[in-house]
Amino acid sequence: MPVTEPGHRHSGREQRRTLIGTGIGNALEWYDWHVYGIFAPFFAQQFFNPDNELSALLSTLAIFAVGFAMRPIGAFVFGRLADRKGRRLAMLLSIGMGSAGSLAIGLAPTYASIGAVASLILLLARLTQGMAHGGELPSSQTYLAETAPPERRGRWTSAIYVSGACGMLIATLLGAGLAALYGTEALEAWGWRVPFVIGGLLGVYALFLRRKLTETHAFNKERTSRSAAPQRPSVLRGMWQNRAAAGRVIGLTAGFTVTYQAWTTAAPTYAISVTKLDSTAVLLAEVVALLIFIVALPLCGSLSDRFGRRPNMLIFVLGMAVLAYPLLLLARAGRVWQLGLAMTIALLFTAMCASIAPAIFAELFPTNVRTTGTGVPYAIAVALFGGTTPYLQTWLASHHAQNYFTGYNIALLLIGALVVLTGPETRAKPLE
């Protein structure tokens, strides 16, 4: 299998193949999760008892969190596969499994037709997606980090969140379009199925593109040296030896994932279902915020390639810690434009971290455990903190205790600041 040699300058065609091949699967992962969050207010009563609207919504968001709980398992299974058999194989299997889960939700019968079994189907589909997507992100970000030129790794790996945000943007546009064309009643009756079916079918296209990717030089070099060794190295032993790096991944991810989920999933969901703002207007406000976020990502990645990873991370954690309460007040002011402005500001700061997180994580681990070492602690942090964010934020807000959630977010951001200040600068670190 052809590989990219160290020092090789990628042609425009090779760059496009790498970026699109990794990006499309990652975009579908984020599309799947965001579609669920956006359309939860519309399909909640299709899978749970419709007599209690808030209870049905909270049950739907609870399954959103349970799906995240499978991510650490998926990160270990697919990460081990990627570290043993190759990044490309893990990327192919993860996208296929995630797409199957999306199709299952889109075609599932409702609570009215089969009762609680509908809730079970939704749960199993989300567990399948959670496992698949737990392996998707570490596999794709490791592949991209190992392929990128060291001096441009921050900018290249920003493509992970560019593609992810594009997936979210497509999901949001689809939600806004369906809401504008058909209205809330149609979305609750059948319109919510459309984005899940689309996501499943796009997975087939993603599989076709990824079949053309080549394995990375760093992995092939490590595999060659491994075959010459008298004993195969243990992935678990390698993770234990790099436990400090794993702890840094968790510390950096906790505040980031809560902030990201709070402003991209929980905030619009709350505005639509609880505040009762116009769903089309809310989703269009998020579209604007996501577009600005997408533009900012590669710029922030380039800044880290020039000045280092630590300044970017400090701007994010300290900036969001200071602005958390003012942005909450702005978002709760009761106007769509104020919610949109709050989301935009939050995502601009988040771009400083999101653009370079894949590069930082890859730079913390050796090649033989890079995917597993990155994926498992990241997935644990996302499951514990990010996956519970929409439920926790909605529940606290319904009890007029939103300030507690904001304080919790600030505490996690300050932990991230401590990790940054005590950690190494990894800019342009060789991944050979």
In a domain, 232, yes or no: no
Distance between CA 327 and CA 344 in Å, rounded?
10
- Residue 30 in contact with residue 165, Cβ under 8 Å? yes
Residue 26: half-sphere exposure toward Cβ, Cα within 13 Å: 25
Residue with tokens 């401590």: 418
DSSP 62-73: HHHHHHHHTHHH
Helix (H, G, I), strand (E, B) or coil at 268: helix
- Residue 357 in contact with residue 300, Cβ under 8 Å? no
In a domain, 299, yes or no: yes
Q: Where in the sequence is the domain holding 373, given as residue range(s)?
A: 20-213+237-422
In a domain, 370, yes or no: yes
Distance between CA 23 and CA 144 in Å, rounded?
9
Cα 189 to Cα 47, 192, 280: the distances in Å are 12, 8, 17
Token readout for 210 is 């990824």
For the segment 318-336, the average pLDDT, to the nearest whole number, is 91
Name the nearest CA neighbour of 175 among 44, 280, 31, 270. Answer: 280
In a domain, 228, yes or no: no
Helices (H) and strands (E) in the chain, counts: 19, 0
DSSP 185-230: HHIIIIITHHHHHHHHHHHHHHHHHHTTPPPPHHHHHHHHHHHHSS
- Count of domains observed in the chain: 1
- According to DSSP, residue 95 is labeled H
Instruction: Report yes or no on whether pTM surpasses 0.85.
Output: no
Distance between CA 202 and CA 106 in Å, rounded?
13
What pLDDT, on a 0 to 100 scale, did the predictor assign at position 229? Answer: 54
In a domain, 155, yes or no: yes
Name the nearest CA neighbour of 302 among 162, 146, 422. Answer: 162
Is 5's pLDDT higher than 50?
A: no
- Residue 413 in contact with residue 419, Cβ under 8 Å? no
Confidence of residue 7 (pLDDT cuts 50, 70, 90): very low
Could you give the angle at the alpha carbon of 299 between the alpha carbons of 213 and 212, nearest 5°? Answer: 5
In the chain, pLDDT over 70 holds for what percent of residues?
A: 92
Q: What is the per-residue pLDDT across 384-397, written as a single tens digit (0 to 9) for each?
A: 888 788 778 778 87
**Exposed e or buried b for every residue in 105-141, given b needs 16+ CB within 10 A?**
bbebebbeeeeeebbebbeebbbbbbbbbbbbbbbbb
What pLDDT, on a 0 to 100 scale, did the predictor assign at position 338? Answer: 93
Which positions ≥6 away from 106 have C-beta within 8 Å?
A: 193, 194, 195, 196, 197, 199, 200
Q: What is the per-residue pLDDT across 127-182, written as a single tens digit (0 to 9) for each?
A: 888 888 888 888 888 888 888 888 888 888 888 888 888 888 888 788 878 888 88
Name the nearest CA neighbour of 198 among 46, 33, 28, 68. Answer: 28
In a domain, 132, yes or no: yes
Q: What is the per-residue pLDDT across 343-377, written as a single tens digit (0 to 9) for each?
A: 999 999 999 999 999 899 989 988 888 888 888 89
What pLDDT, on a 0 to 100 scale, did the predictor assign at position 87? Answer: 85
CATH code at 286?
A: 1.20.1250.20
Helix axes 336-354, 243-261, angle to 10 degrees: 160
- According to DSSP, residue 369 is labeled G
Confidence of residue 8 (pLDDT cuts 50, 70, 90): very low
In a domain, 58, yes or no: yes
In a domain, 372, yes or no: yes
Long-range contacts of 181-187 (CB under 8 A, 24+ apart): 184/42, 184/279, 187/39, 187/42
- Residue 137 in contact with residue 78, Cβ under 8 Å? no
Helix (H, G, I), strand (E, B) or coil at 426: coil
